[in-house]
Copies of this chain bind each other. A is one copy, B any other.
């Protein structure tokens, strides 16, 4: 296993904020609404009896001292001196589902950051106390040293250097806090206690200038220093908070939901310290749940890292008297990209099902549209805190055949699949009934995108929206080659369409719409039958696109089965059931695809979405793995099983790890080529259902 060397986002729920650290010899720290890690120096370490110099985790780059700007002496270059930047071999790092812990000095030194996520009740009906607990824009943590065998006191440090932007001492605004803040926006604190001191200076390890209280507030580097007496073991609590007041979004005006229950940053930090133990229990519970699962260590790491990045992209706002849920698309910061919503559903239904419902409602209310074939939905709701006008995404452009084209078919399927998955999983019949007309319109739209003439329909979507204006529709796999990029006559979309009809049949049955249910049933059968005719008897594969002699081989051929599988629809997932002939062909397709050089990368052994593209996406691999392990276990050869290790190594080395969880990865090198700092890896939550 390569040396662990990766950033992890430590993020409150819904604050679109992260405290990012972990990449070796790299800064990180507090980032609000960023598309990648911040660039603050982080000082975490100890100075003990055995070591006379500070031993610091390697989360800083020597800052250029600002001292020279004041003194006019440009010869002063003063990085912090007198410390050892610990090497990865000097410490251990353990990433849990809701924690990230470093230990050094034979385990005596410890530092941990917690992401105590929990089931969040509907914020529209959340009492204030619950809202303060669940929505606090705070990350907790601790720093400790076991000095029971020591003969001299040991010092611990937790600090942040914000370079050119100075921090302020929190003691000025709260007598319950020791720590520092960046304006009104972020800060870190511990409880005032004996043995805790504050420092601020140009050189935090050896401050040259001290004011009446020992600080120099014009300097950019700050720290808390904790003393652990000889013979004692002490753990000090930490709270890391964010606060963004006032209007944040445009197009739809909104403020952070937490601003309704927290007055300011100090309120957040005091709360974080007061509830420190309770948050710790929640995080420990999450950690235990993952630790006790049947996943192997690589899978556990992937899921833990994914969950961390997911929360970094979440944003819960308040708009017009009600909650407004947003997930930002990692480095792209597109708002509620539907391609992500549909993949997050398996995670969000566990932790905040109302978020799925609210997002679906907003898609209907504002981000739906009608083209010549009927209803569909936009790719996203905007970008970078800007909500695009009704019926328009930030992404979709005209006259294109590749990236940035429209995704009308894809998003129609996404609404159906997300909606029925939500309603059936939660049993929210009232919502399903309220959306009956939309579901019927979706079914009608699906039919017409097959063919406006009912007699010509075979179940496969092949009618581009007139929104493309001379171009062609694409799928979510926009950056792969044509094997997955083109929507029309696309294998991946066809099987996804099958999933949609299966779910529509159930939804219509639930709604007692017998005729519509029968139609959905018949269409699913027709589509399954059509699909079997696309199978290449000579090769034993399905082509990725049923056009122009395409011979790419793709794993998302089975992605559409995740929905009936997740909902436990036996009839649609029974290999000997109604889709038996199709299953037989897919089994052969997948078994042949999961071979080195086809959909296992010949160099790395990692899973590839397509045989003809080296651009592969972790979140989609995770879904494919789950479907294949559950429905096509015969394809899980040793080589295929090795994938988890490969995928984990990609994420825990800098090729991906410099941007925390990454999704688009070169399958040969393991280096991210897009979708960095990305939330979608939580599709791996499906693995816990195995």
Residues of A at the B interface (CB closer than 8 Å) are 35, 68-74, 164-166, 168, 172-173, 181, 183-184, 209-212, 216-218, 245-248, 250-251, 264, 331-334, 382-386, 388-389, 392, 394-400, 402-404, 467, 478-480, 615, 664, 673-674, 676
| Contact in complex: B217, A35 (CB < 8 Å) | no
> What B residues does A172 contact at CB under 8 A?
250-251, 386, 388-389
**A68, A172, A385 — most chain B CB neighbours (10 Å):** A172
> What B residues does A404 contact at CB under 8 A?
70, 209, 216
> What B residues does A400 contact at CB under 8 A?
209
> What B residues does A403 contact at CB under 8 A?
70-71
**A217, A218, A676 — most chain B CB neighbours (10 Å):** A218
Distance between Cα atoms of A165 and B245 in the complex (Å) = 20
| Contact in complex: A71, B173 (CB < 8 Å) | no
Apart from A183-B248, A217-B383, A218-B383, what 16 extra A-B contacts exist at CB < 8 Å?
Answer: A68-B674, A70-B332, A70-B478, A70-B479, A72-B674, A165-B384, A168-B251, A168-B386, A172-B251, A184-B247, A209-B397, A211-B392, A218-B334, A218-B394, A246-B246, A247-B264
User: With A168-B386, A246-B246, A264-B247 given, is the CB distance from A332 to B184 under 8 Å?
Assistant: no
Distance between Cα atoms of A400 and B382 in the complex (Å) = 55
> What B residues does A384 contact at CB under 8 A?
165-166, 168, 183
Give the Cβ gap from A602 to chain B, nearest Cβ, in Å: 19
> What B residues does A184 contact at CB under 8 A?
246-248, 250
| Contact in complex: B212, A398 (CB < 8 Å) | yes
Distance between Cα atoms of A394 and B216 in the complex (Å) = 7
5 contacts between A and B (CB under 8 A): A72-B674, A73-B673, A209-B397, A212-B467, A217-B394
| Contact in complex: B250, A183 (CB < 8 Å) | yes
Closest to A400 in B: B209
A210 interface neighbour in B181, B250, B264, B399, Cβ under 8 Å: B399
Distance between Cα atoms of A386 and B397 in the complex (Å) = 45
> What B residues does A397 contact at CB under 8 A?
209-211, 216
Chain A interface SS verdict (over half): loop
Distance between Cα atoms of A479 and B398 in the complex (Å) = 60
> What B residues does A331 contact at CB under 8 A?
69
Distance between Cα atoms of A681 and B327 in the complex (Å) = 48
> What B residues does A264 contact at CB under 8 A?
247
Distance between Cα atoms of A388 and B211 in the complex (Å) = 12
> What B residues does A218 contact at CB under 8 A?
332, 334, 383, 394-395
Give the Cβ gap from A158 to chain B, nearest Cβ, in Å: 21
Give the Cβ gap from A168 to chain B, nearest Cβ, in Å: 4
Give the Cβ gap from A476 to chain B, nearest Cβ, in Å: 12
A168 interface neighbour in B246, B250, B673, Cβ under 8 Å: B250
> What B residues does A673 contact at CB under 8 A?
72-74
Give the Cβ gap from A372 to chain B, nearest Cβ, in Å: 15
Give the Cβ gap from A12 to chain B, nearest Cβ, in Å: 19
> What B residues does A479 contact at CB under 8 A?
70-73
- Can you list the 9 inter-chain pairs with the closest CB atoms, starting with the nearest? A246-B246, A72-B479, A168-B386, A245-B246, A209-B397, A72-B673, A72-B674, A209-B404, A166-B384
Give the Cβ gap from A275 to chain B, nearest Cβ, in Å: 24
Closest to A74 in B: B673
Give the Cβ gap from A504 to chain B, nearest Cβ, in Å: 29
> What B residues does A389 contact at CB under 8 A?
172
Distance between Cα atoms of A69 and B383 in the complex (Å) = 15
> What B residues does A72 contact at CB under 8 A?
479-480, 615, 664, 673-674
Distance between Cα atoms of A216 and B164 in the complex (Å) = 33
User: With A246-B246, A250-B183 given, is the CB distance from A166 to B398 under 8 Å?
Assistant: no
Closest to A405 in B: B209
Distance between Cα atoms of A59 and B396 in the complex (Å) = 31
> What B residues does A248 contact at CB under 8 A?
183-184
> What B residues does A216 contact at CB under 8 A?
397, 404
> What B residues does A73 contact at CB under 8 A?
479, 673
| Contact in complex: A383, B166 (CB < 8 Å) | yes
> What B residues does A480 contact at CB under 8 A?
72
> What B residues does A394 contact at CB under 8 A?
217-218
Distance between Cα atoms of A166 and B246 in the complex (Å) = 20
Distance between Cα atoms of A230 and B184 in the complex (Å) = 53
> What B residues does A168 contact at CB under 8 A?
250-251, 384, 386
Closest to A615 in B: B72
Give the Cβ gap from A467 to chain B, nearest Cβ, in Å: 8
Distance between Cα atoms of A264 and B676 in the complex (Å) = 33
Give the Cβ gap from A265 to chain B, nearest Cβ, in Å: 9
Give the Cβ gap from A255 to chain B, nearest Cβ, in Å: 9
| Contact in complex: B247, A211 (CB < 8 Å) | no
Closest to A333 in B: B166
> What B residues does A396 contact at CB under 8 A?
211
Closest to A220 in B: B384
> What B residues does A467 contact at CB under 8 A?
212
**A211, A264, A333 — most chain B CB neighbours (10 Å):** A211
Distance between Cα atoms of A615 and B250 in the complex (Å) = 48
> What B residues does A164 contact at CB under 8 A?
35
> What B residues does A615 contact at CB under 8 A?
72
A674 interface neighbour in B70, B395, B399, Cβ under 8 Å: B70
Give the Cβ gap from A206 to chain B, nearest Cβ, in Å: 14
> What B residues does A209 contact at CB under 8 A?
397, 400, 404
Give the Cβ gap from A558 to chain B, nearest Cβ, in Å: 23
Give the Cβ gap from A387 to chain B, nearest Cβ, in Å: 9
> What B residues does A392 contact at CB under 8 A?
211-212
| Contact in complex: A386, B332 (CB < 8 Å) | no
Give the Cβ gap from A656 to chain B, nearest Cβ, in Å: 14
> What B residues does A183 contact at CB under 8 A?
248, 250, 384-386
Closest to A664 in B: B72
User: With A184-B250, A251-B172 given, is the CB distance from A386 to B71 under 8 Å?
Assistant: no
Distance between Cα atoms of A245 and B184 in the complex (Å) = 12
> What B residues does A74 contact at CB under 8 A?
673
Distance between Cα atoms of A673 and B398 in the complex (Å) = 52
**A164, A400, A467 — most chain B CB neighbours (10 Å):** A164
